[in-house]
Structures are given as structure tokens and as C-alpha cells.
Amino acid sequence: MQLNRRRIYFIGILVLAAAWIFVSVDRDGTSTAGLIPAPQAGFLAPDFTLETTAGESITLSDLRGQVVLVNFWATWCPPCKAEMPAFEQAYLDYADQGFVLLAVNAIQQDSVPAIDSFRADNGLSFPILLDTDSKVSRAYQVQSLPTSFFVGKDGVISEVVIGGPMAEALIRARIEELINK
């Protein structure tokens, strides 16, 4: 009698587990499209939502279908400053082809007035995002500045570039490669 009761409990647990799996599955694949998020080439770019210096919220996953360059930088970083003109030109040249540049600034190491002044002095028109609590920098395991992530239309990281400044030719080649995929 006790053996039958255990079997019934076991079967009940299996049925509940199967029901839970059935109910909780992501049928349309919008969460991660079946890919594991990780800050390295070949993996889905970790999603984030940050505010721009103008107070607008931008979510990375909302940009799927576009090529995205996520660049971690600071105003006090010489290589970061050196690559900004090339980023601006690439942004202007490829924005109408589905290219988005997100410049993520870890604000604990910088200040909004310094960022605004840097933007004005350099005529930057792409979004500058504020990583106020460094959660995004930690999610992307940023160890040095600048660090850039080229993200394809599918949300998958195609290349990680640590250090800089990146040559404008490299930036353009990577963007064109991703746009034409």
C-alpha cells in the first residue's frame, strides 16, 4: 500500500514539473532567442537599459535588427578621446543603414558636466548612456577603457575590442560586415 502511495506522489510530481515547464517556456523566443547572454564573441549581448545624458531610456534588446556598437569609455581616458571622432563619423555615415552607437560612461569615474562639455567640444551626436551603478560595466566584465562590443542584428556579439584607439578603417570594416550579414 505504501509503495503505491509513493508511486502516485512521484507521478504527481512529474506531472506538476511537466506542467511547469510547459507553462513557463518562452514560446516566441523574445527573451534570449535561445542564446546564453555573455560578454564575449558568439554569445548574446547582455541586455541593459540605461538613460542618456538627456534622460531618455535606451534598452539594448529594443535595438535588435540593427547593428550596435557598445563602447565603454570615460572623458579622462586618452585612447577613448582619440577614437571618438572616428566613432562620430561612422555614426553619421552608417546610421541610415541601421547602425547604432551606444557610448556607455561609468559615471562613478566621471561627471555629467564633464561628459556634456566633452560632447559639445567634440560635436558628438550619438547617444551617451550613464552607467550610474556600474551594473552594465560589471555585466560586460569591463576591465579597462576603452572596451567596445560589436553586436550584430541578431543581438549576438561578433567581436570585442579591448583598448584603443581603434582605427577608423577597423570600425568601418566591422560595421559594414555586420550590416551586410
Residue type, 132: T
159: Cα separation from own chain's centroid: 12
Radius of gyration (Cα) for the chain, nearest Å? 21
**Would you say the pTM of this structure is higher than 0.85?**
no
Q: What are phi and psi of 19, to 5 degrees?
A: -65, -40
* Structural domains of the chain in order of their starting residue, each with its CATH number: 29-179 (3.40.30.10)
Average pLDDT score over residue span 127-150: 94
Is 174 in contact with 150 (CB distance < 8 Å)? yes
**90-105, pLDDT tens digit by residue?**
999 999 999 999 999 9
Instruction: Report residue 49 CA to chain centroid gap.
Output: 9
Selected residue with higher pLDDT from 147 and 17: 147
